[in-house]
A = this chain, B = another copy of it.
């Protein structure tokens, strides 16, 4: 509840803004989000957001790059942690679900970027990020495996973004689909969703 105008260094403030922006962009999409909403989510004024990032475009691009690297890092750690080649797929899958649970905005921002491929600034960054993730998966999976893995990831993103996760109790098939998509991690994720309500 501090309302003191606590001054932080510009780089630290950038981090705060990027984190808030990931949530806002993830929820509202690029066009639907405003620099003012990002600013309020970060606890500062709108002009300062623009000054630190130059443009709404550039802010979103930086969010995209940041989130893409976050996914890559999580995958790398999961890959490194699994010495057995047979367990690597389960580990990487678990890493993705964990990322979903702890930082929903990350995945949703990525998703928002993917479906803006037509944009001359955002499109190239989104495509490159997507392919970097696929390439990383291919270092430990066959093409068919990697395709199915990333497909399931897109489904998970869609389930979260559409708000179907919060309707898991409505309709038998909703719960069935969620259970099928998340496997034994479903309970975990549902708890995570309920937590930040």
Contacts and interface: CB of A to CB of B under 8 A. Distances in A.
9 contacts: A28-B118, A29-B30, A29-B31, A29-B32, A115-B115, A115-B158, A116-B161, A117-B164, A151-B154
Interface of A is mostly: helix
Interface residues of A, number: 46
Contact of A171 (B31, B131, B177, B180): B131
Contact of A173 (B135, B144, B176, B177): B135
Interface string A81-125: 000000000000000000000000000100110111110000100
| Oligomer: number of copies | 2
Given A131-B173, A151-B152, A154-B154, A162 B29 contact: no
